[in-house]
Structure 1
Amino acid sequence: MRPPLRIAILECDTPADKVKAKYGTYGDIFERLLKSSALSLGEINPDTDLAISKFDIVNDTKYPNIDDIDAVLLTGSKHDSFADVPWINTLVEFTKKVYSDERVRLIGVCFGHQIIGRALGVPVGRSDIGWEVAVCEVDLTEKGKELFGKEKLYIHQMHRDIVGAWPKGVEPLGTSPRCTVQGMYAAQKLITVQGHPEFNSEIMLEILDGRHKLGIFSAEVYNEASSRAANVHDGLAVGAAFLKFLLDD
């Protein structure tokens, strides 16, 4: 695939007010990640070689025309990837359409990773182990080490839903003690991660604060996760892997 890379970001949620005021929508946050990753990769110009469009698919019904794009990126979300509601069902069907296309590629993050799993026919749902939050360690497979250029991956997590099995035709990228399916890959078709390469410590702490106030996180979970929110993470390496995946002919 040759630049400019036409990437449609499907915004599957809206950030908390403080996060949105400083960083914009999740589409804006991912655009910033991809451009920073392009700089670190050094193979494409972030200003001229990335053509990014954004679609709020929760509050609007408009989707990209797949003839006009090269890739679709599905963001994270507070919503359940397994829910039987109209907008999520529409997203799953659109994801199936993209996957069946010979040209357009898929990138999935957290909720987006789970939606791709659901579209490929494997179960998604609540983990029996519970939440995985803040910067966590992921044990990489050999393919994961190759794609991310790391022996271990450290990435922000914010989930208790998981993909329950490896879909047919994908290569595993990594596992963690709380989540077996941490990433999926199929050459020139899809790449996903359960974690959040786009998050920084400020975004993570805002989410932790909000969910602690709502009683979703106990004081113990909140304090322990908060202590890891500012740890070094590999978000840029994941973003670079996304771009290399798109550039791979």
Structure 2
Amino acid sequence: MKTPLRIAILEADTPPDDIVARYGKYGNVFRKFLETAADELGEAGFSKDSLELSAYDVVTEQKYPELDSIDAVLITGSKHNSFDNDPWILKLVAFTEQLLKQDRVRTIGVCFGHQIIGRASGVKVGRSEGGWEVSVLPVELTKKGKEIFKQDSLSLHQMHRDVVFEYPQGVEALGGSPRCLVQAMYKKGSFISVQGHPEFTEAIVSYLITMRNQQGIFNTEEAKDALDRVGNHHDGIVTAKAFFRFLLED
């Protein structure tokens, strides 16, 4: 794929007001994340100037890019349920199905986006019986996962209790965890996805944990455990580099 890489970020949620005030909406969070990784990728002539990023609110405005104007789509995380049938979710699933049926525009899924790709591919998504995964946690990589991420292990910020239950036909498994066997998926020339949040930072996750503790979603013990791990090393930039290699591969 030639540069500039024209990547459309589909915003499947709006962060809490305090996060928006400090970091912007998810399109801006991903912009900073992707630009940082592009500058660190190490590919000759590739940098943040090789990116052309745009953002689309697919929840309220329900706007989408024209496929002939982009090279890739990134579907963000969300507080919403990927298995619900709200009109905007059904529209997103239908758009993702359209993406997966063609072979030029590639797709990246993050958390909710990972689940939407699973749903659009025809496999079950829903609540994990194992409950929440929160804060920095390890992902056990498969042989293919080690090849894709170029290291033997992966740690990512997590913020989910919904999962993809199985790998779609023809899709390669990249990694799993005890509470989420389908942590990352890959189909050459089509899509790559992760259940974790590589774009999240310690500050963002700390805020979300504290907020959800106050809302009663996490009890005090769960919140303390998650906050104890929130500053651990995580491989967000490593994951973004894998995204770029996927986009650039023949």
> Which TM-score band (shorter chain)?
over 0.9
> Which residue is 2:19 aligned to?
19
Distance 1:215 1:161 in 2: 18
Partner SS, residue 136 of structure 2:
strand
Per-residue displacement from partner, 1:160-219 (whole Å, max 9, x unpaired)?
A: 000011101110000101100000001111000000000010000111011111100011
Q: Does the alignment pair 1:7 with 2:7?
A: yes
User: What residue in structure 2 maps to residue 64 of structure 1?
Assistant: 65
Q: State the match for 1:127 in structure 2.
A: 128
Equivalent residue for 2:237? 236
- What SS class does the counterpart of residue 9 from structure 1 fall into? strand
Q: Percent identity?
A: 54
State how many pairs are aligned.
249
Query: Secondary structure of the equivalent of 1:139?
Result: strand
**Taking structure 2 as the reference length, what is the TM-score of the superposition?**
0.98
Supply the AA of the counterpart residue of 2:84: A
Aligned partners of 2:150 and 2:194: how far apart in 1? Answer: 15
Query: 1-side partners of 2:42 and 2:22: how far apart?
Result: 27
Which residue pairs with 2:49 in the alignment?
A: 48
Q: TM-score, normalised by structure 1?
A: 0.98
Please list, as runs of the form range in 1=range in 2, the aligned pairs for 1:110-149 lying within 5 A after superposition. 110-149=111-150
- 1:51 and 1:4 mapped to 2: Cα distance? 6
Native 8 Å contact 1:105 1:246 kept in 2: yes
Distance 1:232 1:176 in 2: 17
Q: Which runs of 5+ in 2 are unaligned?
A: none
Q: How far apart, in 1, do the equivalents of 2:136 and 2:213 lie?
A: 17
| 1:140 Cα deviation from its structure 2 partner | 0.1
SS in 2 for 1:48: helix
The residue number in structure 2 matching 1:35 is 35
* Matched residue, 1:246: 247
- RMSD between superposed Cα atoms in Å: 0.8
**Residues 39 and 48 of structure 2 are in contact (CA less than 8 Å); yes or no, is this contact kept in structure 1?**
no
CA contact (8 A) 2:41 2:47 kept: no
* CA-to-aligned-CA distance 1:91-129 (integer Å, 9 cap, x gap): 000000011111000100000000000000000000001
Q: Letter of the 1:78 partner, please give it.
A: K
> Which whole-Å CA distance do the structure 1 matches of 2:46 and 2:26 have between them?
22
For the residue of structure 2 that corresponds to 1:108, the secondary structure is strand
Range with bigger deviation, 114-123 or 35-44: 35-44
Cross-structure match for 2:152: 151
The CA distance in 1 between the partners of 2:74 and 2:247, in whole Å, is 11
User: Counterpart amino acid of 1:16?
Assistant: P
Q: Deviations over 1:14-40 (max 9, x none)?
A: 111121111111111111111111111
What is the distance in 1 between the residues matched to 2:209 and 2:8? 28
Taking the aligned partners of 1:178 and 1:70, their CA distance within structure 2 comes to 33
Contact 1:16/1:206 (8 A) holds in 2: no
Q: Is the 8 A contact 1:174 1:180 kept in 2?
A: yes
